[in-house]
Structure 1
Amino acid sequence: MGVHPHQRQFKPINAFIIVVMALGSVAYGYSASIIATTLAQPSFYTYFNLASHSNENDIIGLMNSLYQAGGFLGTFTVAFSADRWGRRAGIAIPTTLVLVMGALLAGSVNLAMFIACRFWAGWGAYMLVSAVPVWMNEVVPAHGRGALVAVHGASLLLGYCLAAWVGFGFWHISATNNLQWRGPTLLQCLPAAILLPCLYWLPESPRWLVIQGRDEEARRILHKLHAPDEADHELIQIKAQAETEDRLDSSYWALFTKPSYRKRMILAFTTTVSIQFCGPILINNYGPTIYKSLGFSASKQLLYECGWLTLAFGGGLISLYVVDSMPRPVLFAGGITGAQVCLCIEAALVATYATSPESLAHPNESALKAAVAMFYVYIVIFESTLDSGQFVYLGELFPTHLRAKGISFGMAGVNLINIVWLQVAPTAFSTIGWKFYLVLIIPGMAFAVLIFFWFPNTRGVHLEEVAELFGDEVNHSVAQVVYHEKEESKGEDGHLNEREPSVLGAQKLFSHHEEVNSV
């Protein structure tokens, strides 16, 4: 790859910034997950009189799928705001939207208002979940980047977990009290309300600043984030690559017309879609409904959901250590295979012990508990390998000038497939039952094989060098220039001079090469 070392010197400020930014991940997780326990609150059904609607399943499906539809559109606005006004603005805008929509959802006076606000809440939440990893990837050092950015995945799982336990706690309030569902819904505003003012004290992405020609600001921020030698080293590489990318087309059209970019888009979209074929959104949003179909009481339905999401958070913490321990394709293929094996066993248990009239009349308690346990094994495998890893991978695939657009396109894949799953799931579970799992399992296993043999590994690769994996010679040249410029700029004490090196060497070298050598 490049000829310079990758070992970046880590500073505690990196961890502090990541933790603060993780509030955005928590805000998304809570917002996306609170609907699961809301749909299990008796007061919610009573207030909106859902039982009186003949198309109750369709309405429930609409509440979930419109959230994803809003998210699909929201992901495409991330690139505009993050590229035009900065990475911090790209986070501030959706944070504000999540805050406002959370309040309006909690205060909804009719079904139409609740459903409409779900759409806009999804818009803001998916903008947020797309914008945070863009910013994280551009701030943290390449060495250990996977673990640091995986905090994003672990934090959104913390949001899921909090939503479940808060919902379970409020379930014990009287079913005649609307606080039972309004309270948990309103609390989704809390992490957004904390994050919004904190953005003022967090640094802008140095890569975005260089693209805007604000090199001195970028230099100051890099010196805060890295040791002095590595900060100068990083600035040279960012500036050299930025000067090259400045001459390149950064439109969505370029993502589809330039072969190497198009390959990245296919990889990003396939990554997120293949992971969603494991069906996590179905188990998360319809968990209480699934447990109800297994014959468990209302309290156990919510309690099992809480336990499932608590284990999900635990899996997210495990991912901090797992995500950089193996090549990305091995991580994803192994995770998908493990999750799909769990779904195979789940389908077999449900088909055998929870479908026939006889099995429902005389339930096998041990088998039904085993079905719940299999969901628990599933979520640990899924979260420790796939959920956090996908955000790391999406951020690594794209160059700086296209990173926001690329991540938004990958997240659009999540929304598209989830719109389908969430809209059809209530009807599918009530009609074909366990066979619905086969719709996930068969394509999912095919995706695992595809990823293992075809996807490139980006683990530990500097963001400015990833392009070499796609045949773009320019980034290899940048790495060489950085190395030689760094060596030539050392003072007598062996350290880099404060104002040296420059990117003159890069400019000379680029004059002998084409801007891009596409695959």
Structure 2
Amino acid sequence: MKTLDEVAGKHVENKRQFNLYNVIMVIAMSLGALSYGYSTAIIGPTLGNSLHLGTVVWKMLILQGLYSTGGFLACYTVPYVADKWGRKWAVCSTYTLVSGAFLAGSTNIGEFIFFRFMAGAGAFSLLAAVPIWVNEVVPPRNRGAFITLMGLMLLLGYMFASWGSYGFYFYHPSSNNQWRPMLALQCLPPIILISIMPFLPESPRWLVKNNRITDAEKVLLKLHEPEEAKIEMRQITLQLEREKGLETSWYAMLWGKKSYRVRSAVAFGTTSFIQFSGILVINIFGPQIYGGLGYGLSTQLMLAACWVTVAFVSSFLSMFVVDRVSRPKMMAGGMIGCVCILITETVLVARDKVGPGENKDALKAAVAMIFLYVACYEWMNNVQLSYLGEIFPFHLRAKGLSLGVSGIALLNIIWLQAAPTALKNIGWKYYLCFIIPSALAAGVILRWFPDTRGLSLEECARVFGDEVELFGGKQGGEEAVVVGDGGGEAVGAGSEESGGKENA
């Protein structure tokens, strides 16, 4: 039997722990993330290209507000499916498929608004469900990169929506229905995903939890290199054996033992802090600045598509760094970068009015800041979804991730409803609502958020003080960890490898 030193050493060896099958499966499951990105991004160009919806601004608020409201509520249905029926079946949502079909065929604004609400429910349930599965099927050393790969698929959805809308702008049917094909296309990713779902592997952790040990071993051997698969199987079995009988309710997670309360606060704080960075305000000010430079609608659509493309490239580059830098430093660093860019943007917008005939050099600089901002934002955006999956133990992971993603939806509702009034009454000062909280949040993350980079999901519990439940607690003044079955041996955990890894 291997000692803990040998096990921990395998996790930090400079060798690949995954295989091509693992990559393909993550890309396939990330069609759910692509569906989220497309569904979220398509509404702006749709309203701009359609006449049947009437006044755009207030209906944009209603549609986006209800979209996020549907998403907020749907997040809390994901854990039931993920825990009872399986991680992969939680991704098998038909909301996006059905809502996309009805949105494309809608005949009145009431029907459109209702199914936009349903689209939000589908999109955010996918945003919560896909990372649960991805976090549980990828090796610890590359977890951040795989979650970023999922994020790239999400941005690919944004790109399809943005560039597709730019192309359909030049399509002028006699009935003014150029918005319908773009809405109908959001049905394609869920159709493909649902059709291939029976062939995608289930989470090995869920399989072990449901006493399907042989199936779990087969899945791990397919996904990971053999040595890594054996190590993870041993750790999964140990954790889930020790989790038996632990409370799994929402009340236990939010109000139970201290380590669970801390996890919940960190999860909701992570997504809320990142939303404080001001991504929605940048989206709001962007078209005004483009218009102020004298660009027409087609050029504005093209610039919006280029903006998303820059985000995709930046996110791709971050994939090679995310597992080399601690999670808190990655998030706080991106947040500080966004704050600096927002300060520059605030100075430019405050000094030079946005509008035709104004200082075009300043406005061009403001556009450059918008592109720099999204490049910086993507370096922290994907980290949050891997971090949410890492900080919770298996029996609370689905609830924890759903709680965090619901924070994204909630902050969207708040900022979208406040933005028009705030922009009208206080203008550029609205930026300060993002600059100041983001700067404070970066300090909180650096000071109090624990690092979980490179640790297996089972090892992550130790940074929250859960050694008793998962790692055997203290014996004779030294930490003892069981690495086999009930009769296995216990060895000291204070080794150079395991201790160094925990503090990485």
Query: Which residue does 2:462 correspond to in 1?
Result: 468
Paired with 2:458 and 2:63, the residues of 1 have a C-alpha distance of 41
TM-score normalised according to structure 1 size: 0.87
CA deviations over 1:213-271 (Å, ceiling 9, x no partner): 11111112112222333323222211111011112001111112211011001001111
Query: After TM superposition, where is structure 1 displaced by more than 6 Å over at least 4 residues in a row?
Result: 506-509
Alpha-carbon deviation of 1:441?
1.0
Question: Match for residue 390 of structure 1?
Answer: 384
CA–CA separation in structure 1 for the residues paired with 2:270 and 2:67: 21
Q: Which residue of 2 aligns with 1:47?
A: 52
Deviations 1:403-456 (A, max 9, x none): 000000001111111101112223332332212111111111110111111110
Per-residue CA deviations over 1:158-181 (Å, capped at 9, x if unaligned) read: 111111101111111228543321
CA gap of 1:63–1:361, structure 2 versus 1, over 3 A, is closer
In angstroms, what is the RMSD of aligned CA positions? 2.2
Preserved CA contact (<8 Å) 2:293 2:360: no
Could you say if the C-alpha distance between residues 98 and 395 of structure 1 is closer, same or farther in structure 2, counting changes exceeding 3 Å?
A: same
Partner of 1:403: 397
Residue type at the aligned position of 2:407:
G
Hey, what does 2:446 align to over in structure 1? Answer: 452
Counterpart among 345, 359, 363 of residue 358 in structure 2: 363
Find the aligned partners of 1:223 and 1:166 in 2 and give their Cα distance.
40
2:410 counterpart residue number: 416
* Alpha-carbon distance between aligned partners in 2 of 1:506 and 1:22, rounded to the nearest angstrom: 40
* Pair 89,507 (structure 1): closer, same or farther in 2 beyond 3 Å: farther
Change (3 A) 1:347 1:37: same
The C-alpha deviation readout for 1:299-343, integer Å capped at 9, x for no partner, is: 222111111111111111112112112111111111001011111
Q: CA deviation at 1:506?
A: 7.7
Query: Shift of the alpha carbon at 1:107?
Result: 1.1
Q: Which amino acid aligns with 1:407?
A: L
Q: In the alignment, which of 13, 22, 36 is matched to residue 14 of structure 1? A: 22
In the superposition, the TM-score normalised over structure 2's length comes to: 0.90
Contact preservation (8 Å) 1:65, 1:419: yes
Which blocks of at least 5 consecutive residues in structure 1 are unaligned?
51-55, 486-501, 510-519
Question: Could you say if the C-alpha distance between residues 507 and 58 of structure 1 is closer, same or farther in structure 2, counting changes exceeding 3 Å?
Answer: farther
Corresponding residue for 1:515? none
SS at match of 1:426: helix
In the alignment, is residue 126 of structure 1 matched against residue 124 of structure 2? yes
Query: Matches of 2:174 and 2:412 in 1, distance apart?
Result: 33
Deviations, residues 489-512 of structure 1 (Å, cap 9, x unaligned): xxxxxxxxxxxxx45428999xxx
Cα distance, 1:109 vs structure 2:
1.0
Quote the Cα distance in structure 1 between the aligned partners of 2:447 and 2:54: 51
Name the structure 2 match of 1:274: 273
Q: In structure 1, what residue type is equivalent to 2:464?
A: F
- Distance in 1, matches of 2:17 and 2:402, equals 30
Q: Report Cα offsets for 1:21-69 as digits up to 9, x if no partner.
A: 121111110001111212321xx2x21232xxxxx63332111111100
Q: Distance in 1 between matches of 2:351 and 2:337?
A: 22
- Does the C-alpha gap of structure 1 residues 2 and 365 become closer, same or farther in structure 2, counting only changes over 3 Å? farther
Aligned length, in residue pairs: 477
Deviation readout 1:118-177 (Å, 9 max, x if unpaired): 111000110001100100010011111111121111211111111110111111122854
* 3-state SS of 1:39 partner: helix
Q: What whole-Å deviation, never above 9, does each CA across 1:361-393 have from its counterpart, x for those lacking one?
A: 63222211111110000000111x211111111
Rounded Cα–Cα distance in structure 2 between residues aligned with 1:506 and 1:282: 56
Contact 2:480 2:491 in 1 (8 A): no
For residue 382 of structure 2, give the secondary structure of its aligned residue in structure 1.
helix
Residue 102 of structure 1 is matched in structure 2 by 100
Q: 1:253 aligns with which of 251, 254, 258?
A: 251
Residues 32 and 193 of structure 2 are in contact (CA less than 8 Å); yes or no, is this contact kept in structure 1? yes
Distance in structure 1 (CA, Å) of the matches to 2:144 and 2:35: 21
Aligned equivalents of 2:400 and 2:134: distance in 1? Answer: 15
Give the whole-Å Cα distance in 1 for the aligned partners of 2:195 and 2:356: 56
